[in-house]
Amino acid sequence: AQSVTQPDIHITVSEGASLELRCNYSYGATPYLFWYVQSPGQGLQLLLKYFSGDTLVQGIKGFEAEFKRSQSSFNLRKPSVHWSDAAEYFCAVRNQGGKLIFGQGTELSVKP
Amino acid sequence: DAGVIQSPRHEVTEMGQEVTLRCKPISGHNSLFWYRQTMMRGLELLIYFNNNVPIDDSGMPEDRFSAKMPNASFSTLKIQPSEPRDSAVYFCASSLQGARETQYFGPGTRLLVL
């Protein structure tokens, strides 16, 4: 069965520091992978997605993610975090039928 | 362009009452999804439609939940009767049909059943 694991429930980083949020997936075929961000009281916004090709994907707000098939991972990174990046981040895998399966989310706090 | 519109944004009701959540997808999108978000279970897909037809309702918790999409621009999720454990944030999302298409989420309806 398809699944997504985000091992870190909560991460705190200092403003200006680099960030990496981990995501591991379980999926038999080539996965379609997504990262979404949810600000408090808001819906989810797509940061980036991966289907095929270059394994390093650029997204909005300065985020990038790298697909590593050998590790079944799709980690999200940002070189320098801003206070406005504080939010909850969700990794998701989508099967051929179109169903999105989300991880449990990682809450990011940013220290001044 | 307007995004996905959901109403109401907040709903407080008493156990046993009927609750109807509404969603207007982005114009031109032909796939619509209903999700539920809780602390315990995270984000779960309840049901999704392609071209107004329900495709997968395996996530619908039980018969108290029903969803309809009478036309391309409107969908409802109904809970009857509601129970306290239904308290959650319900999101509607829409997309063009296809596994590669991005799902655009509405702001959600925060439901509290007392």
Is B1's pLDDT higher than 70?
no
Q: Other CB atoms closer than 10 Å to residue B40's CB: what's the count?
A: 6
Specify the length of chain A in residues. Answer: 112
Interface test with A, best of B10, B43, B95 (most A CBs within 10 A): B43
Confidence of residue A98 (pLDDT cuts 50, 70, 90): confident
pLDDT in tens, A75-88: 999 999 999 999 99
Q: How many residues does chain B have?
A: 114
- Work out the average pLDDT over B36-55: 93
The whole-number pLDDT of residue A91 equals 97
Chain A residues near any Cβ of chain B (below 8 Å): 32, 34, 36, 41-46, 49, 51, 90, 94-105
Tens digit of each residue's pLDDT (9 = 90 or more) over B85-113? 999 999 999 999 877 888 999 999 999 99
Mean pLDDT of chain B: 94
CA atoms of B22 and B76, how far apart (whole Å): 5
pLDDT in tens, B24-40: 999 999 999 999 999 88
C-alpha distances out from residue B63 to A76, B42, B78, B81, Å: 39, 21, 10, 10
What is the percent of chain A with per-residue pLDDT over 70, rounded to a whole number?
98
Is the pLDDT at A72 greater than 90? The verdict is yes
With beta carbons less than 8 A apart as the criterion, state whether A36 and A89 touch. Answer: yes
Q: What is the pLDDT of residue B100?
A: 80
